[in-house]
Structures are given as structure tokens and as C-alpha cells.
A and B are shown apart, each in its own frame.
Chain A
Amino acid sequence: MAVCIAVIAKENYPLFIRSVPVQNELKFHYTVHTSLDVVEEKISAVGKAMADQRELYLGLLYPTEDYKVYGYVTNSKVKFVIVVDSSNTSLRDNEIRSMFRKLHNSFTDVMCNPFYNPGDTIQSKAFDSIVSAMMVQAS
């Protein structure tokens, strides 16, 4: 169950950010922003290998005392960032991967919509519902 889910465009501006404890939203925005550096680092680390060989799932980007940040990059350099609570130890890597997969699928559906202009913020209800399903239930 994520605490915050963000979709960042290729140019590193957010297409979609949603966090559950709404009052701390700014903190999560900042966290996601700083995690972009780590993402860039991981992407460039592959170096000569072609992008296809690079795995889409980046794994744990960096942990803090409160939460952990996971990253995922698509082949078109769209980044997904999930922030989960550190106290939630039951989340396994596979679950995070499946969350990213679902995000990627619904993101693809949004992209397929001809009325969606790439670069716009994502306002799709279907996408919202998928994200809500993944978020921690609002306390």
C-alpha cells in the first residue's frame, strides 16, 4: 500500500502526483523530486547497454527513516515513483513490482486515449481508480 504515487514525465515534470495523507503532500512532492536524481543515476549507470536491456523496475531508490522510495522507468523515460511507509514491512519486492506493472498498464491505457495529449496531467478516472486502489486507505 503506497503512501504516495507519482508519475513523472520525460522532462521531469510531474504528470500525476497523489498522496494519501493530504496534509503532508508537500513533503511527498519534495521526496519525489529528490528521488528523481537517484533515478537519473540509475538510468545512466547502464551506460552502453541498450535501453531494452535495462530493466524497467529500478527497485528501492533510497530509504529514509520514515519511508522507502521505489522507482520504475518506462522505455520512453516516463518515471513512476512509489513511496511506501517504512513501517509497512510486509510489502515484498514482488508486490511493488506488480504495483508498478499495474501503473504501467493503466498509464498505457491513458496514453492510448486519443484525447489525451502527451504532456498533459493525467486526469483519467480509470487511472485514478487504479491509483486509489493501491494507496493506503485514508486514515
Chain B
Amino acid sequence: MESLTLTDVEQKYYSDLFVYCDTDNTKKVASNGKVLDLFRAAQLPSEVVLQITELCGATRLGHFGRSQFYIALKLIAVAQSGLPLRVESLNSVKDLPLPRFVVAKNEQEARHTAMYPDLENQGPYQGVIPRPPGRGQVKKVSAHEVIQPCVPTVEPQPDTTSPVVSPHQSPPTSPHAWRKHKRQASGGNVERPPVVVAGAVWTPFREVQSGPVVVGDGMWSAHSPPPVQESWVSLKDTYPPSSSKMPPMHLSPVQVENSSIRTVASITTANEIQRQSSSGYDDPWKITDEQRQYYINQFKTIQPDLNGFIPGSAAKEFFTKSKLPILELSHIWELSDFDKDGALTLDEFCAAFHLVVARKNGYDLPEKLPESLMPKLIDLDDSAEVPDQAPDVGYSGSPVEVTPNKSPMPSLNQTWPDLNQGNEQWETFSERSSSSQTLTQFDSNIAPADPDTAIVHPVPIRMTPSKIHMQEMELKRTGSDHTHPTSPLMAKPPELSEETKLATSMKILMFFTKGDGYSSSDSYTSDQDPITSVVTRQRSNSGTSPEGLKVAAAPPPPPPRPNASHSRSSSLDMNRNFAAHPTGPQQSGVVACPPAIPPRPLPTQTSGPHSGHRSDEGLAAHSTTSPQQIPEQPNFADFSQFQAFAASDQPSDDGEKHPESLPVRAGPLRTVKIDNQEERAAATVNSAKGSIMAPPPKPVRRRLKSEDELQDEALPPKSNVIATVLATLPSIPRSVGKDKKAIQASIRRNKETNTVLARLNSELQQQLKDLLEERISLEVQLEQLRPFSHL
């Protein structure tokens, strides 16, 4: 044997290889099987291998000792570089590249996948992905691949036609030791598939031997095959099981000396790769510009409008062509239909496509949509911006954990020089498969109604109606129309659900109420409908939405309750009053709500002279009607007040006739309020004030007598009694702003009048019964007297 002089690099390399082959751990002899496998991996013709073994003396020895092994390796390098095999060439050839070995399948699987850097995952992935492998045509897929980060250790598989689909196909070539390998020793099984895929992809790549070696950021522009090959040559390496121990350093010098193109690039890419790999697992899911462009083109074939949707059926047809099992396509759909609307936007479509490609290449589908595929994340292409996507995504909080941050990773801009070639592949969706499958005809009744819309009914919550009613009427009177409709509503702020939309719906509700004012309170429910429908559209998969909607549909205030107790009794009088004074803004207001007027005068007495006018009328109505119904039971404690009221009533009667004396009336009213006694005195004494008041009692009495002859004379006192009851209203301090007290007082008064009127009613009913009986008896008598005529 010739002595073999090896460079340091070679020395290391060979020793590692020897260790690799030294399965028996003899440290002296490499097992034949391993060695032969290795030699076979060198991809040299078998006769060359035989020659080599013979030359190195192994055949002579029968085994591979270290020296033989080294010699053999050197000879392999010689053979691979195309030089004739000769013993003397061992030492004569300078700058011999290291022998390349394509790791065989078995060896590959023996390798720990941890050795594979994440980067390779990304690499192959990204390389692979754009290849929606013509759905099954792996071969072409190749090229770009990959290699991503300079791991051109694409050792072509002996079986170059391995289909891509199978995830368990022969493992890819062994990547040689990178620094990264060490770091990612804990890669785990997850990386296996991508590596496998990479391998499959790489095989054709090797055949093609074209395309750039993509390196991290550094894009290697189209490279001619030779340099690429060279890079392979240099980087190729067997993958020793203990590659983690293999010092990566020895490779870098090799690289450096081999490919000038790669040197700098390789280092940078190595760094790049490390950075990227450290970013995490999701990088493989990143969509490159080119891929995205392709997806966009595909999207356009289905839906020309980039901002539009692809309906589910069309998408189903499209993706069925990929020949993935329906279950997987279903899962992909679940992942990518972000807003669960049964249609795909551009972003969703790209994500779905990406997942399909990944699956086709053997990558297992994730359980959750990867960050980089989420629709509202990065969109490298501005053209693919889908504005309506954002609001949907923004609203749907719960179902998918959306990470708003864009991937910090630098986008791997990979250009695929073999784009044209790839494109051809991309278009080769097998059409025939879909033809046999007809679109699923959904049962018309299967589409479930949106449960939220079915459940949601705006539930109006009754607030204390009368009080609110009074308040609102009062406020309206005082001209604060813009506040009152909202005040009762604001009093009960609806519980806001987590959906922000509800807040806007509330605002909408407010707007509606504002605009309409109280007069349209009846239409509140109708206003609710658009609001609830708007909100229900935001069915953001939140189960609480129906509840929220229920609450959000803020109960409108109940429609204005006509004050029934007074309407009947006062309608006639009110009409008379109105007829007498058709002018006046307050009157018009009063006219607008005749039935509601009666109670109003009571509280509005505190608000001002204007209201005082109305109140006078109201009071007049009260006084005029109540006397009619005053029962003959003067057992009211408030009788004394009635008298005072009667006194004040009189001015109101005058007021009807003298509209110009408004302030005068207000005067008497005020005085009435201040001092009931004065009123009474005025009524009786007929003083200056009383002069105004005195006549009124008379008309009151006159009215009484004229209207009801059956009534006793006691009625006038009763009327006075009731009038005084009503007169207690003015006794309330008229401090403006004490609406609440006024309301309470008015409530009290109303209650009192209610009781009074109820008694009146019962007594009148009794009288009516009596009269009817009399009538019946009279008729009977008449009948008895009549028979003579009949006969």
C-alpha cells in the first residue's frame, strides 16, 4: 500500500467516516457491510467500487482496516472527480474534493432526525410548497427547493421517482453537520416529515441540477448547474449517526475552498438559517411571495374579484382536485375558514391552498391554524389585502386565538427560477376526479338557522312607566326634548356583552330614540329590529351573543300610558277647553295628547306659568268633572283643601275666558299654593284676588246644577271638596327643578282622586241600578194597564 497522505480535513473526514462504519466499535476495522453501503452510496459504478476495494487492499485483507478504508475513501474521491483510479493518484492528486456519499435509505433512517435543522424544515417546505406538486407529480417539484439554507446536501435518493405524497418515503439525504444540527438536536419527529419531503423533493432536484440554491435571505440567483453541483460536492457528506459530535467546522473550510459563490453566502445563510430556525416551528407555514402570487392567480380563476369570496361549493370542487381524502380537506377547511362563514376570502384561500400543498407533500396538518397563515397577518402582497376580513377577524374573539403580531421573521424571499417549469406543474390539477363527484346538494332544510337570530328577541324591560312618563312629559314640556328620551334609557344602561358591536348598537338605539323623541316611543320595538339584526350578524361564534343581544336590545320605554283614570272623565271637558283656546303652544301640546293632559297639570304646576295655564285647564277639568261625580260622602280628610282648590279653580275658569290674564292666574295660583287659607278667604270674602275667585265658584255651581239635576245640593260642597283636594297640588312648593317631589305629589293626588272617583262611580252605579229597577216596575205597570188596549 502506498502511504497515504491526507490533509487535515480529509483526515478528520475519513476518521469520522470510519467511525461511522465502525459499527462493531472495534476502532480498527470497519464492518464490511457498512463500508460497502458507504461505497455504494458514493454512487459510483459497481465495478469502480470493486476496483477501489481491490486497490485499497481490502479484498486482500478481507476486511477494511483503517488504512484501507482511508485509501478507499480517497480513491472514491478520485473516482468521483472523474480521475482515473490509480494507486499513484492517491497522493498525486492535489486538492481533491472529499468523497461524496449519498446516504442510503437505511442509513438515513438510522440518522437521528434531530440532526436535521429546522431550517431544513423550512427549506424543504418552502421549496416544496410552491409545488402544489402538480398534485402528485413530484419530480418537477424539485428544483427549487430548497435547499434552503444552504444545505445542499441533497443527496439524491437512489429512487428518484418516489412520489411526494407518501410521507413515509425514503428519508432524504443526510444533511451534513451544520452548527445548527447541534443546536437542534431536539428537533424531534416533527421534523422528520419535512425532511422526508425534502428528500423526495430533492431527488428530482438533483437530477435536474438546476435552480438556485436558496439561502436564507441571500437569494442565490440562478446558478448554473456546475457550481451547484460543486456545492453539493463540497457539502455532501454522509451522515454519521454521531453527527452531533461531528465538528461542523471542518465543513466550512471545505465549503470555502470549494465554492467561491457559496462561501460568503453560506455563512450568511447559516446565520440566517439559525435565526430563522430559532423563530419557531411556524416558519414552514410561511407563504412566500411567489406562492402567494400563485395562489392569487388561482383565486382569480374562481373569483375574479380579489376582495370577494369563494363560495364553499366552488372551493370544495377546487380542492377536491387535489385528491386528498375528504376528511383531510374537511379539516383544512375548518382550519382555514377563519370567520366560519362558509366562504373563503383571499387570505383564507391562500391558507387553505398552502395547507393542501403541505399535506400533499406529506406534512401533517396542524391542529390549529399556524400564525403565518392567519388571515389578518402578513400579507406580502398588497393586492391580496382583504379589508372586510379585518373587521370579521376583529370581532371574532373566542374561537381562534389570534395573534395580532406579524411574524417577526424576515420573509424568506425565494425566487424560483424554474417558475415556468413549476407553473406547469401547478396547473396540473387532475380534473377527472372532480367530474365524478357532483356537488353536494344540500337539503333545503338542513341549513340550520342561525341560532342567534332565532333566540334573540329584544326583551323590553319595563321601567317604572308612570314615573318615566311623567318625567318625559314634563321634560318635553320644558323643552328639553333632546334629553328626555335618552334619560330614561340611560337610567338603565344595558349590560354590554363582550362584543364591541353592541356598544355601537346602543348608540344606534340612542340615535333612534333621539331622533324620534318620545312621540314615537311606540316605534321603539321596530327600531330594535335593525339593531338586533345588525348585532346578530356579528355572530362571532360566541355562545353568549344571544344573551348579549337580548340585553343590548335595550328595552325601549313603554309607550306613553294614557292616564286612564282621567281620560274618560276629562275628555269632554278637555275638548271644550281646547275649543275655547285653540291657540298657544302649550295648548297645542296639550291638544296633541289630550288623554294625557289631566295628570300633567299637576306636576307642571311647578314648572312655570305656562304650564300653570294648562294646569289651570286641567284643574278646571278636574274640578268640573269631579264635582259631577262627587258622591254624597263627604268623608274626605282633604275637604278643606278642596275648597281652596275650588278657589283656584275659579281663576282657571276665568282663564279660559281671559287668556291674556295668564300672569294673573299664575298669581292667584301662586298665592293659592302659598296659603290655602288665603284662597278660602278670597273665595269667601271676594277680595281683589277673591273677586277673581269669587265668580268662579258660582260658575262652578252653575255648572253643577245645570249638568246634573238629580244631584243633591251637597254636590257643590263635594265639588268644593274635590276641588280642594286638587288644590293641594298648588300647595306644593313650586320650586322649579323639584320634579321628583312634584311627581310624587301628583301621584298622591292622583291616588286620592282615584279613590274619590271610585267611590263616586260605585255610588252612581248604585243609583243607576235603582233607577233601572224603577223603570222596570213602571213598565210592568204600564203593561198591566195596557191589556185593555190589546184586547
Contact = CB atoms under 8 A, between A and B. Distances in A.
Contacts of B454: 52, 56, 75
A115 B326 contact: yes
Contact of A108 (B315, B327, B450): B450
Contacts of B316: 114-115
A105 B451 contact: yes
Given A56-B451, A125-B334, A118 B543 contact: no
A124 B447 contact: no
Interface string A117-133: 11000011110000000
A108 B450 CA distance: 8
A63 to B, nearest CB: 25
A115 B329 CA distance: 7
A125 B367 contact: yes
Nearest to A108: B448
Interface string B291-314: 000000000000000000000110
A77 B316 CA distance: 26
Given A118-B442, A123-B327, A112 B340 contact: yes
Contacts of B341: 112
A123 to B, nearest CB: 6
A49 to B, nearest CB: 14
A98 B451 CA distance: 12
Contacts of B334: 109, 113, 124-126
Interface residues of B, number: 33
Contacts of B440: 114, 117-118
B448 A74 contact: yes
Interface string B438-449: 001011011111
A74 B452 CA distance: 12
A16 interface: no
A18 interface: no
Contacts of A117: 440
Contacts of B313: 114
A126 B400 CA distance: 11
Interface in A84-134: 98, 101-102, 104-105, 107-109, 111-118, 123-126
Contacts of B340: 109, 112
A75 B367 CA distance: 31
B312 A112 contact: yes
Contacts of A123: 327, 330
A113 B334 CA distance: 7
B331 A125 contact: yes
A47 to B, nearest CB: 19
Contacts of A109: 334, 340, 541
B316 to A, nearest CB: 4
Nearest to B442: A118
Contact of A76 (B330, B337, B447): B447
Contacts of B446: 10, 76, 111, 118
B342 interface: yes
A95 to B, nearest CB: 12
A74 to B, nearest CB: 5
22 contacts: A10-B445, A10-B446, A52-B454, A56-B455, A74-B448, A75-B454, A76-B443, A76-B446, A76-B447, A101-B455, A101-B546, A112-B340, A113-B330, A114-B316, A114-B342, A115-B326, A118-B446, A124-B331, A124-B334, A125-B331, A125-B334, A126-B334
Given A56-B451, A74-B448, 19 more contacts: A10-B445, A52-B454, A56-B454, A74-B451, A76-B443, A76-B447, A77-B445, A78-B448, A98-B543, A98-B544, A112-B342, A113-B330, A114-B315, A114-B342, A115-B326, A118-B443, A123-B327, A124-B334, A125-B331
User: Which A-B residue pairs are the 6 nearest by beta carbons?
Assistant: A114-B312, A114-B316, A115-B330, A112-B342, A101-B543, A118-B446
